[in-house]
Structure 1
Amino acid sequence: MAVRGAPVVIATNGRGIAVTQTERGVPLTIAANGLGVPVVVVPSGGIPVNIDNLP
């Protein structure tokens, strides 16, 4: 699978950039190797992104 956007890691400790999933946001991809910018997915108020492989 080709990387579609910048690599990110979902921060389980809550310490990362707040992002909100939306179809028209900046493209991101969860890093398969665990190396990327830590993000926290919030329901609203975060940077609008489109995470390609969000579970």
Structure 2
Amino acid sequence: MQHVFVNLISNALKHTKNGTILVKAEKEDNFIKATVKDTGRERSRQGNVFYIYTAC
């Protein structure tokens, strides 16, 4: 999981020269919901990056 977070945050840093990056984690029922948002240039990257884990 550490690798996933490092990649998400590194990507946000790479594409956000000016602006903000928000990293947030919150408990939702029996799960942890993690969000990385940035104001960097838009690119197609939405989706469930954890689908491989939730499918097991």
Per the TM superposition, whether the score is higher than 0.5 is: no
Q: Report which structure shows greater RCO (CA 8 Å, sep ≥6).
A: 1
More helix by share: 2
**TM-score, normalised via structure 2 length:** 0.23
The structure with more radius of gyration: 2
More strand by share: 1
